[in-house]
Structure 1
Amino acid sequence: MSEKKLPRKNFTGKTLLLITTLTLMPLLPFLISKCGTKTEMEIKDEELAKAPELEESINQIPKPKSITIKKLDEKDIENLKPTTPEEGSAFKAKPGDILVETEKIKVIIQQPSREIGVSTYGGNIIDADIKRDDGTFRDVVGEENWFWFLGHTLKPEKVGKWKENVIAATGKLDLLDFINANGLAETVFKNYIPNFELPFKVDEERPIKATKYFVFSDGNYVKIIDVACNEGKEEIPFFFFADIIDSGGDVEFFIPSSELKGYGYKSPLPTGLSVFKTDFIAFVSEKLDSSYGIFPETENNVSLIASGVAVIAYGMLEGDGLNSLLSIARGTSSKFITIKPSECLKNEKYFIIGNGSASSLTDEFFRIKSRKEKTEVYQVQGKVSISDLQVLPSKPRIAVFDKQNKLITTAGGDIYGNFKLVLPAGEYKFIAEIKEMPPSEPKIISVPSVQDVQLQIGKPSKIIISALEKKISGEEINIPAKVSFLCKGECPKKICIKGCEILSTSFRDYVYDPLPDGVQEVVFLKDGKTQEISIAPGSYKIVVSRGMEYSRYETEVNLQPGEEVRIKAYLHRVANSDGWLSADTHVHAVNSPDSPVSLIDRVITFAGEGVDIIISTDHDWLTDYEPAIEMVGLKDFLSSLVGQEITTFSYGHFNAYPLKLDKKEPSDGALDWAEKYDRYQKYGIKESEKEKFRFLRSLHPREIFKNAHLMKPENFARNIVQVNHPRSGGMGYFDYVLLDTLKLTTAIDPCIHRIFPPAGTCGGAEIVGGDTGLFIPLQILKDMANLERFDAIEVYNSYYEIPIVMNDWFTFLNHGVHITGVGVSDTHQKFQVHPGIGRTFVWVGKGNDLPSKFREDIQVKNTFINNLADGKVFISNGIILEDFKLCGARGNAEECAEMGWSNMKNLTSNFKLKIKVKSADWVKFDTLKIFINTRKTAAKSKKPVEKWPTPYYATSITPIPQEIEIQGNRFGWLVFETEIPLTPPAEDFWVVAVVSCENSCEPENPMFPVIVDKRVKPMLITNPIYIDQNGDGKFTPPPPTYAEESSQAPHYEDHQKNGKGIAPKSKRGKTDENNILEKIIKSLHIH
């Protein structure tokens, strides 16, 4: 059959164009992305900032043998096979970002973007890994970002290809919203140095054109060249090159030049300052076999590290790190640079990517140096052995020191003990360590004459253990649990971080998440099934636990090298919280820069502590724990909600939950608290005043609360906004805004916090008429439906700040405002800050109190959130509330009111308070306090009330021991129940109860090691019962008054005699000059 042709006259040129367009339209996105990429990604010379000798610096780098540059789409990202945050990864590439692949590495550079966090605008390396045989992409990179003028960074206008092996990000400077140096100076610094002033204005525009060049090599590194050009007519003083680095995934800091001489960054110095001379800074993940580091070309660099974020000031070292920091802050450093008009400057550094060891990074750096200096480097190999073991209990690390005992690097061995690394010629000392055992004896060798090293480590013992819950029926089920090894006498493996010839931190980070003295090891059993634990031989008391509701199992062992001991630990839920779901509403993990804990590790720790609901609240990032819970097999033990810690730098932190997560959005949909647009039109700012208000773009707290409330998932009736650690000095909302809790006014200048001033003019209270407007008006606070209010306050975040926040909370109650008090851990670690302590218990009703029920039933989730907002909640670190109600007459009948704003009742006489509490027998309690309309609690601006509020009623109590025997296993608990007649005030009133341990818990916490802080004592805090005594349907208690200047004497004799409070006095007070810098640096930790 021949093809039939249509007459040409039926098709005009326009018709053909139309048909062609319609045919190709579905393919246009593909054609644009594939065919149009070259032009779109190319950058022209005139778009760049160029410094003298830029070309020479680029040409020094050997080009890769092969290089591919492409814009990523969804399929490309999937094909990368990236590891996930569940495993501890920091991968965050989105479609449109640029992938550069050479024969050795894969690197992703972010396109121009906007996200709130350590890095704001894109144009940086965000993900990187070596090329692997299995094709996976094991990224732990956070982000390396500029930090110029103490708060400016690159805002790229374009990111693309300039040369065959060069990607450039070019644009102007803009504020890094994450850091507010002016706010820090005006609030924290001036608290300790009253006349302190920064030497220059941070929040002003500078006429700098800037470009960041990424030069790809034939090795495992990228050379980064930063260029700044002064396009203005005036000199620009006080300049220095600096970077701010988000550490990224589940990593350890490695900084051999620090006082720790290796791993970690929390300083052992008395000042607590993490300020170091920095030759280089590296990040190591043994878990993912991935590492990376920044290796500067410059010498005499100094770093400041806080909360997992590092700042490197290149070439700014003068004397030691501390003096360098002070000279920068004061503007007296001789290292400052003045950029002349039309002058361009550059800074160079190497971004090196490794396989999980520090030596894989230093190997590459030694090769780079040897090429430049025309010297030789040599490969050294070796093996770490343990007696007759073919496979080691864990991977060894081998610390390498020079003749002056300076740590050069650490090599990572495989599970068989084999290792290799590259070193220049010289004499070196090698020492090996595994995490379970003390280090080996040192071996000294000369390179290159000796290139093989054999090291021997002692043989560990082994515990083979399982944990089971023994039901009353006799049924046994495996349960998640925690195993603590308490040393009897000195611990066999000693951890030394100062004053030793060889510091423990030369091998791994023992300072970020240290175990308490006398504890050799803590191991979580993810499901309670049989698990092997290797440990140094010695004598131990082994404690197996599952949080506050369970009994604990204890046994003692004396382990010999190579000995194996089998343990089956039986636990029983002796203090069951029937009808309540326990939750931690403030939790961090790997998506927070200061929490190097994988999501899998995080859910294992929470299940092991017996928490029912984990609420993710990473810093300005939304995290979903459900995939990790499912991966580990914990769906019967733990459920979760998605939330965010809205982390403003200088005016407080606020949690919001639940929130709607969106993987397509920056930071997975987190609220951006610094607006993306200028606010001139919104506030009617005149053209002539635009410059004055140019940088006032942070959201007012009321705007934050409203926007966070609007981010609730569609299947929830509401969500919660919570004020975090309100009195934690440099992180606390109430402290930051200088709140007067009686007047509900603030004294701080909003412009300091980059907030547009409600009064329309910048200035403190003395300038704008007494109130700078940074708090919430009383009428809004009283309106439970108003989106501009907050719903909850962390009463228990730090155990030591409970009294201060209790005073604030009671003041709100006396204003007639319902705010739910919650208990949280704010945990960033696995051990030191205890998961689920404090803990919030929310009433959901019997039968609904299972994590699996919570996950499956949206009605239970809504009940949980509604009741949390309503105050059907108690706070605890060990004591369980079984009953709490206030009964009284209503007419001729008796009625009882329980916790919760919606449970408020009109009762008039014959009041009786009923309370019943219980605990496991290893949790002690002996004191009951009742607070009713406690009025002398209000704080003046700058004067938080630190003493405990005065109770209405207080008494010593004696709980009754209970015991059950199940198949030969005995389990005990304590119970106390009482009914107290009350004669409350004639007005509307609220009632809060506190049960604690004040006398029988000396000298140490009986809950240790279930709670690792030996100073923490058991405590339970209820939420209020509300009584509308006058029956008008409103809650109008007597208003609060200011606290007395002198200490408030308690009402009961034991307290007066022994001088013991429910919690120790808060760690606040007068500061001498030696502690000024310690206080300042602690204020930088972002919690």
Structure 2
Amino acid sequence: MKSAILLSLLIASSVPAAEVFEAALGRETELPKGKEADGILGDFVLRSDKVEAVISQNSPNRKANMSTFYGEDGVTPGCLYDLTLRGANNDQLVVYGPCGHGPVSFVKVVSTQEEGSAAVESVTTAAKNGGIFKRHEYRVKDGVQGIFITTTLRNETDKPQKTFTKSDFTRFDSTGSTTDGIFWTDAINPAHKCGYALGTLNLTGIEKLEDTLELKAQQEVVISRFFAVGTSPAQAVGEVRAVKGVKQGTVAGQILDKGEKGISTATILVPDGEKKTISAYPDAEGKFNLKLPAGQTEIIVEDLGREASKLAFAVTADGMVTPKIYAASAARIRFDITDESGKPIPCKAHFAPLNKDAPKLNLGPKWRAHGCVDQYMSENGQFTQQLPPGKYGVVVVRGPEYSHLEQEVTVEAGKEHVFKGTLKRVVDTKGWISADFHNHSTPSGDNVCDTDGRLINIAAENLEFTPTTEHNRFYDWEPTIKALGLEPYIKTVKGIELTGSRQHVNAFPFEPDPLKQNGGAPDWNDDPRVTVLTLRRWQGERADRWIQFNHPDLSNMFIDRDSDGIQDGGFVGVGSMIDGAESENGPGTDILADSPFRLSRPAGSLAMKVNPVREFVWRQLLNQGLRVTAVGVADAHSVYGNGVGCWRCYLPSSTDEPAKIDWAELAPHAKAGHLVLSTGPFLEVTTQNGKIAGDDDRATGGIDLKVRVQCTDWMDIDRVQVLVNSRPDPKLNFTRATHPQMFKDGVLKFDEKIHVPLEHDAHLIVVAIDEDGNQQTCYGTSDYAKMRPCAYNNPIYVDADGHGFTPNGDTLGFELPAGGLKVDEAKEKLMRAGVIKDEPKAAAPKSEVEHKTVGKKKKKD
């Protein structure tokens, strides 16, 4: 008897008890982790035996991530930042604000009299809130799988006051409400197996909760909610119903194949009313645990490549059902992709159903690598993709330096097809590495792409140097690169994209402090010169600090600062303060554009729109003596559609092994403009004196350019054009039609010496392009498939008279574009220049690539 008592005491003492603590004095290491974890030093951690949560502290500028909400009221102290099952480190929540967000008066620990509970309160006094007192209490209790949130609103004035009560709840793509009024959300990536549910428990002082309440003088309202977390939306909904007192039973089932092996990839569809379902997910062993309302029910088990299964059974209040569901073997393709040495290699596969009337594929959300729409990206070339039985066109690629593999594959029900092959490196880029200086994943806040998905995406497209450039926070991708085993393929440095309502700026390297707001980064300033100087000197100046303008409005920055239509020089001096500016960051190829703007009539609109052409304006500015190095990037925010690979840069490197790349060695090359921009072709341009992109050279009467272009087996070029002082010289325009002897059909497409006659100083840009080509072999159904293969070098500056280089001032037939240009004015200028004759037709619907929210103020939920 005595030993039994001692054993029970020992077991009781080992069970975690509810507690609350400030993440400091060594306990900051106990902050929960996960995809959207945003806790920092000084936040409050609430824990029970079931869950752990983070409530944000009241500190200046406290935000989950800097792009969640913009503007002065975008701070989110006193909000629920993180919520995950105890020890799961699987937070998927960006922020939950029970009545919106904004400044608070204080956030502090609350003493509770209830055993096994802990609480934090956030209070905004009436004096700070227009007369409305607001208090949120967040409380956890042992044995309960969620957090209780009690909101008190009180009008402390002698007049009626309106108050906003709608919750902030970000960010999820899959949401819904149950028939009994419980709001639920699924994780962005269902493979993360997490869901949330929110239910109202009680209302005092009002009969119905609306987004806006009008409180009478001295009226008080109390709103009680329960916020549950589970391994799926369906599990979380069951936890809310349990707290609400709904009679339920437990379903503890398992999904198995015929060999009694658990199936982890399935989705269990739980009925909610007559037409709706809520998803649940099994664990690694195929097991699942749900609370369902008492009564007869039927669940459906779906798994891509398997026939769906149904199971009907009765659930009794407080009872348990333990069904086993057996599923047929999946139809699938197993991939074994290696390099020429036989080593597994990162790659991408995309699948095109070939059967007539085959349904559109949906392998998963566009935000992840392992199954996004109709593609799969792998970190090592060893993977299996389940598919509905049928015939498919399957293509495997690894960026524009490698060959491709292509097969028609018939996938039979219950069987596995093995797709085995070698991706050969066919383009010789020795002495150069491929780089993309601008990409994002979920820490940026304006997208929810998995960080591991972004890095697999980078490896699959064979980008070798990719700085970490999340929005408004210093961050480091290196730990994820190591965890994925991608160190041989990707090198990163820690950096940032500092953003606001106007010019965005990339900068690196820096050292993040993950326990500080923004990782220790500074704030953005509307004057780009202040932003640039701040970044240049933050954490101390260093020779390899790179500062880059992102997707710049060149007119605003360098021509018309206040966009009033009058040239004022822009932000004078800023051009000499930066190292580069993005010329390319999307699927377009406008380097040969013939005007600084174009007109479009968006689909469904009666009004035309003036669209600047950045590449043309860059060429104009070069002629004015502004030497701004052009950079080509993806600015990727998803994996499918807006992933990496649309533009990249090649720059010289002493090593061809990404693991050995040293940014300190690359930086001088980048700062000197030794960058070639490309959607895929590998272009080399060298003068007779060995000078390359960005260099100055000297020659009398003319200069020879050695131009060499390589393309992989799914890409071609049919034109090489030399721009002399930004103008395409018709005598230096070479095409397959006019100069067939200069073009080849193998990997080496062009290898010629071009003599450029010069009477005056000139900068030279060589453009290699396939004018009617696309990249469907690489990108499949993605918008990037429409890109033309294109590459061009940063200018080589040639002094033709020995007196130093002098820009010619040519504006290419158009005055430098100031802001505020009206449609009629733009049309007149374009018609006068002979660029257009008639009004443009309606534009095609915008693609997802064009729908970027970077720097835009988001509408409050």
**With structure 2 as the length reference, what TM-score do the two structures score?**
0.80
Count of matched residue positions in the alignment of Structure 1 and Structure 2 = 786
| Cα distance in 1, alignment partners of residues 841 and 370 from structure 2 | 22
| Cα distance in 1, alignment partners of residues 488 and 369 from structure 2 | 30
1:709-858 alignment, distance < 5 Å: 709-711=536-538, 716-726=542-552, 733=553, 739=555, 743-747=559-563, 765=564, 775-777=570-572, 779-781=573-575, 783=576, 786=577, 789=578, 791-799=580-588, 804-844=613-653, 847-854=654-661
Aligned equivalent of 2:149, options 224, 246, 253? 224
Question: 2:271 matched to 1:351?
Answer: no
1:897-1046 alignment, distance < 5 Å: 897-900=691-694, 903-934=695-726, 953-957=732-736, 961=744, 973-983=747-757, 987-999=760-772, 1001=773, 1005-1009=776-780, 1013-1029=784-800, 1031-1033=802-804, 1035-1040=806-811, 1041-1042=814-815, 1045=827
Question: 2:165 matched to 1:241?
Answer: yes
Equivalent position amino acid for 2:337 in 1: A
Give 1:39's aligned residue.
none
CA contact (8 A) 1:155 1:173 kept: no
Q: Quick one: structure 1 residues 397 and 880, their matched pair in 2 at CA, closer, same or farther if it must change by over 3 Å?
A: same
Give 1:274's aligned residue.
none
| Cα distance in 2, alignment partners of residues 669 and 366 from structure 1 | 42
Question: 2:395 matched to 1:551?
Answer: no
Q: Quick one: structure 1 residues 173 and 725, their matched pair in 2 at CA, closer, same or farther if it must change by over 3 Å?
A: farther
Give 2:283's aligned residue.
414
Q: Quick one: structure 1 residues 226 and 487, their matched pair in 2 at CA, closer, same or farther if it must change by over 3 Å?
A: same
SS in 2 for 1:242: coil
CA contact (8 A) 1:606 1:835 kept: yes
Structure 1 stretch displaced more, 635-644 or 155-164:
155-164
SS in 2 for 1:661: coil
Q: Quick one: structure 1 residues 289 and 544, their matched pair in 2 at CA, closer, same or farther if it must change by over 3 Å?
A: same
Equivalent position amino acid for 2:795 in 1: P
Aligned equivalent of 2:506, options 625, 637, 655? 655
Equivalent position amino acid for 1:776 in 2: F
1:395-434 alignment, distance < 5 Å: 395-407=265-277, 409-425=278-294, 428-434=297-303
Query: CA offsets per residue over residues 192-232 of structure 1, 9 Å max, x none?
Result: xxxxxxxxxxxx98455433221334511222233455566
| Cα distance in 1, alignment partners of residues 263 and 352 from structure 2 | 21
Give 1:273's aligned residue.
none
Equivalent position amino acid for 1:702 in 2: R
Aligned equivalent of 1:106, options 52, 57, 78? 52
- Tell me by how many angstroms 1:699 deviates: 4.2
Equivalent position amino acid for 1:110 in 2: S
| Cα distance in 1, alignment partners of residues 487 and 378 from structure 2 | 15
Query: CA offsets per residue over residues 461-511 of structure 1, 9 Å max, x none?
Result: 3444322222xxxx544322223333333586644xxxxxxxx8xxx9646
Structure 2 gaps, min length 5:
1-14, 69-73, 594-612, 818-825
1:635-674 alignment, distance < 5 Å: 635-648=487-500, 650-673=501-524
Question: 2:90 matched to 1:138?
Answer: yes
- Tell me by how many angstroms 1:639 deviates: 0.7
Q: Quick one: structure 1 residues 904 and 358, their matched pair in 2 at CA, closer, same or farther if it must change by over 3 Å?
A: same
Q: Quick one: structure 1 residues 719 and 421, their matched pair in 2 at CA, closer, same or farther if it must change by over 3 Å?
A: same
CA contact (8 A) 1:657 1:712 kept: no
| Cα distance in 1, alignment partners of residues 731 and 830 from structure 2 | 12
| Cα distance in 2, alignment partners of residues 217 and 68 from structure 1 | 9
Equivalent position amino acid for 1:852 in 2: A
1:237-386 alignment, distance < 5 Å: 237=162, 239-247=163-171, 253-257=173-177, 279-283=183-187, 286-296=190-200, 315-316=210-211, 336-338=212-214, 344-354=220-230, 356-369=231-244, 371=245, 375-386=246-257
Give 2:604's aligned residue.
none
Aligned equivalent of 1:861, options 659, 663, 688? 663
Give 2:458's aligned residue.
606
Structure 1 stretch displaced more, 813-822 or 101-110:
101-110
Equivalent position amino acid for 2:250 in 1: Q
| Cα distance in 2, alignment partners of residues 886 and 598 from structure 1 | 44
CA contact (8 A) 2:430 2:656 kept: yes
- Tell me by how many angstroms 1:1015 deviates: 1.7
| Cα distance in 1, alignment partners of residues 851 and 416 from structure 2 | 48
Give 1:97's aligned residue.
43
Give 1:592's aligned residue.
444
Give 2:6's aligned residue.
none
Structure 1 gaps, min length 5:
1-63, 175-203, 262-276, 300-312, 317-335, 496-503, 674-697, 727-732, 748-764, 855-859, 888-894, 936-948, 963-971, 1060-1064
SS in 1 for 2:626: coil
- Tell me by how many angstroms 1:243 deviates: 3.4
- Tell me by how many angstroms 1:1035 deviates: 4.1
Give 2:483's aligned residue.
631
SS in 1 for 2:529: helix
- Tell me by how many angstroms 1:873 deviates: 0.5
| Cα distance in 2, alignment partners of residues 209 and 987 from structure 1 | 74
Query: CA offsets per residue over residues 587-640 of structure 1, 9 Å max, x none?
Result: 112322344344333323322221111221112222212222222332222110
Give 2:10's aligned residue.
none
Q: Quick one: structure 1 residues 420 and 393, their matched pair in 2 at CA, closer, same or farther if it must change by over 3 Å?
A: closer
Q: Quick one: structure 1 residues 744 and 514, their matched pair in 2 at CA, closer, same or farther if it must change by over 3 Å?
A: same
Query: CA offsets per residue over residues 547-590 of structure 1, 9 Å max, x none?
Result: 11011122333232333344431122111212212111111123
1:81-230 alignment, distance < 5 Å: 82-83=32-33, 89-113=35-59, 114-115=61-62, 117=66, 118=68, 120=75, 122-131=77-86, 135=87, 137-145=89-97, 148=100, 153-164=102-113, 165-171=118-124, 206=130, 208-218=132-142, 219-229=144-154
Aligned equivalent of 2:336, options 466, 469, 473? 466
Aligned equivalent of 2:260, options 384, 390, 402? 390
Query: CA offsets per residue over residues 15-70 of structure 1, 9 Å max, x none?
Result: xxxxxxxxxxxxxxxxxxxxxxxxxxxxxxxxxxxxxxxxxxxxxxxxx9953222
| Cα distance in 2, alignment partners of residues 1068 and 642 from structure 1 | 43
Task: Report percent identity of matched pairs.
Answer: 21
Give 1:523's aligned residue.
376
SS in 2 for 1:604: helix
Question: 2:308 matched to 1:440?
Answer: yes
**With structure 1 as the length reference, what TM-score do the two structures score?**
0.64
SS in 1 for 2:228: strand
Equivalent position amino acid for 2:734 in 1: T
Q: Quick one: structure 1 residues 453 and 954, their matched pair in 2 at CA, closer, same or farther if it must change by over 3 Å?
A: farther
SS in 2 for 1:830: coil
CA contact (8 A) 2:719 2:771 kept: yes
Equivalent position amino acid for 1:352 in 2: A
| Cα distance in 1, alignment partners of residues 184 and 715 from structure 2 | 48
CA contact (8 A) 1:207 1:231 kept: yes
| Cα distance in 2, alignment partners of residues 520 and 145 from structure 1 | 32
In terms of fraction of residues, the more helix-rich structure is: 1
| Cα distance in 1, alignment partners of residues 383 and 852 from structure 2 | 44
| Cα distance in 2, alignment partners of residues 955 and 780 from structure 1 | 37
- Tell me by how many angstroms 1:405 deviates: 0.5
- Tell me by how many angstroms 1:410 deviates: 1.5
